[in-house]
Amino acid sequence: MFANFDFDVIRRSLGYLFFDGMTFTLTLTGLSALGGLIFGTLIALMRLSGLKLLGWIAGLYVDLMRSLPLVLVIFWFYFLVPYIGQWLTGSSRPVRVGAFASSLVTFILFEAAYFSEIMRAGIQSISRGQPAAAQALGLTYSQTMRYVVLPQAFRNMLPVLLTQTIVLFQDTSLVYVLSIPDFLGAASKVAQRDGRLVEMYLFAAIVYFIISCFASFGVRRLQSRIAFVH
């Protein structure tokens, strides 16, 4: 079965695949996870604020993003962000944003919907007595969230947040549809250039599998340690 495989094409392309492709993938994953977590926490606080309008807007946003295919959202923002920039800046033509910036905005806004639900569950898992005790000590709502509720919620939800980040790492391969040289995009370019589609796509799948498995193993170890501390 593997007699006609040219595995040397993988060896010759390792520098391009990892230094260019994987670097792009990990950078996009890290920045998207950070931005999505910050924005998602704000959305979660909006839904729990008790203000009906804010809760309704946040709930509508979460439901909208979670009901759309990610690849469709990627296309939307890739073609829409330049016109949004034109509207904000008052330019006479669409603003050139770039594929990376457009992809980053897409993943931050999309992942924020999922991170917000994780953070909302984490906040609701905190005993109601703790915020009440904090307010009895004179802490304001923002101080109670910042110093009492959010640190504990983040700790409780850390394994789930990391699991969602692993899913995000896999989802970043969808920027391939925009011809962006992420890891999968780099593998695809090498495959088409050398006519070795099977070898390169098989190698890309193995790399994604290994990274995701090791990351999942680390999350399970972390989860067991957190459970032991509790």
Q: What are the structural domain ranges in the chain?
A: 8-229
How much is the pLDDT for 3?
Answer: 56
What is the number of residues in the chain? 230
49 in Cβ contact with 122 (< 8 Å) = no
Class for domain 8-229, per CATH?
A: mainly alpha
- Note the pLDDT tens digit of each residue in 156-211: 888 899 999 999 999 999 998 888 889 999 999 988 888 888 888 999 999 999 99
- Which of 230 and 223 is assigned the larger pLDDT? 223
- Note the pLDDT tens digit of each residue in 24-64: 999 999 999 999 999 999 999 899 887 889 999 999 999 99
How much is the pLDDT for 204?
Answer: 93
- Note the pLDDT tens digit of each residue in 62-110: 999 999 999 888 888 888 878 877 887 887 788 777 778 888 989 999 9
d(CA 159, CA 226): 9
- Note the pLDDT tens digit of each residue in 120-141: 888 888 887 887 787 787 777 7
Q: Which two three-digit tokens encode residue 173?
A: 């391969």
